[in-house]
Amino acid sequence: MRLFRKAKVYIEGVGIKMTDLLFDTLTRSYESSADAEEIKIPSDALVVPAFIDQHIHGVVGADASDGGGAVRVMAKALPSEGTAYFLPTTMTVGREALLSAVEAVGRAIGDNDMGAEILGVHLEGPFISNKHVGAQNPDHVRVPDIGLLQELIDASGGNIKMMTVAPELDGADKLIQYAKEHAIKVSIGHTDATYSEVEHAGRLGADCITHTFNAQRALHHREAGTVGAALMMYGMYAELIADCIHVSVPAMKLLLKCKPEDKLILVTDSIRAKNLSGGESELGGQKVTVRGGEARLSDGTLAGSVLKMNDAVKNLVIRCGASITQAVDCASANVAKHLGLFDEMGGIKIGKRASYTVLDKNFDCVMTIRDGKTIYDRNAEA
């Protein structure tokens, strides 16, 4: 057994409380035990549920589309920002490269004992709109193809958990239904979908908007568009890249105001340049330049982010006025609910997995624990 003694803990359904927290692989009790190993943390630190990133391409030079050991590198790096679970997210690349990437992720699942856990693959493309391709490579955009999706499912060992699709494309209806039948979450993104087309996709099973406001049909007073759907549809989850670059602070506040508290999801959408010194990088076979915290293609298009999840939480609190518990939920509970995993993760509750992020008063990550094991300790890294 391990123990946080007299710590500030965000307890599911209760709020922030000064308490003991006893755990092994699961959260066991809010009482002390003389036999437990006590974990020392700063007196002003806050213990919250470990973060979950459902949309992340890369970090520290590694990219989910690289295949090989790249996702293992990601798994080792992400706990330093409080992330204990993630969906490696592929780019719109060629068929063979995509098959190779998802196969590599599938092989890596369960083989990262001391890092963040890989929950499965998020396919961002290739079934997207050329009108809103963003930083995706237009050379590899494809029409919806159930045969290719099945190939990807097989190559991954059944580990495709989420996919981003433009629902207005020919064949998208059947693709969304097929994905739902195979327990794949469908998110609407890189799309020119109208409000009614998003509504229709929602009826078929799509339940999320990919990086809301970015690479999608904007809000207009005569056509509310994809952004209007994200703001208005109660049951639709909305991803947000809260780096104050992809989305302005007033727009982030608008999304906070419009969405039910359990339907907003923080994502990093970070690329391999994160945690590196900046300069030139690469995304989906395209050159990216990172300067001043912004990653852009040569034509100025934003190309993912270098955002850390703890900073996304901080921005929601400091810049947008969210409560710390609301912001933490956007990086943990809401993601777990979206992925159908809230019964085991996303909250600190007796019987749930003992996965915690410890934040200091500046929102910097002090420690990350997954299933009772410390996978990041700032003091050990110093």
Active site residue 269: yes
Which residue is it, tokens 């999706």?
149
Specify burial of residue 351 (Cβ count, 10 A radius: 0-12, 13-18, 19+). Answer: exposed
Lookup: tokens for 327: 């912001």
Write down the residue that tokens 């993104």 correspond to: 189
- Identity of the amino acid at 6: K
- Degrees to nearest 5, angle at CA 124 with 211 and 78: 75
- Report the C-alpha gap between 304 and 281 in whole angstroms: 11
Catalytic residue of the set 53, 66, 243, 269: 269
Q: By the 8 A CB rule, do 176 and 204 touch?
A: yes
Q: Give Cβ neighbours of residue 221 (< 8 Å, ≥ 6 apart).
A: none
Q: Which residue has the tokens 């969210």?
A: 322
Distance CA 223, CA 338 (A): 27
Q: Return d(Cα 51, Cα 100) in angstroms, integer.
A: 27
Compute the distance between CA of residue 8 and CA of residue 17 in angstroms, rounded to an integer: 5
Q: Which residues are catalytic?
A: 269
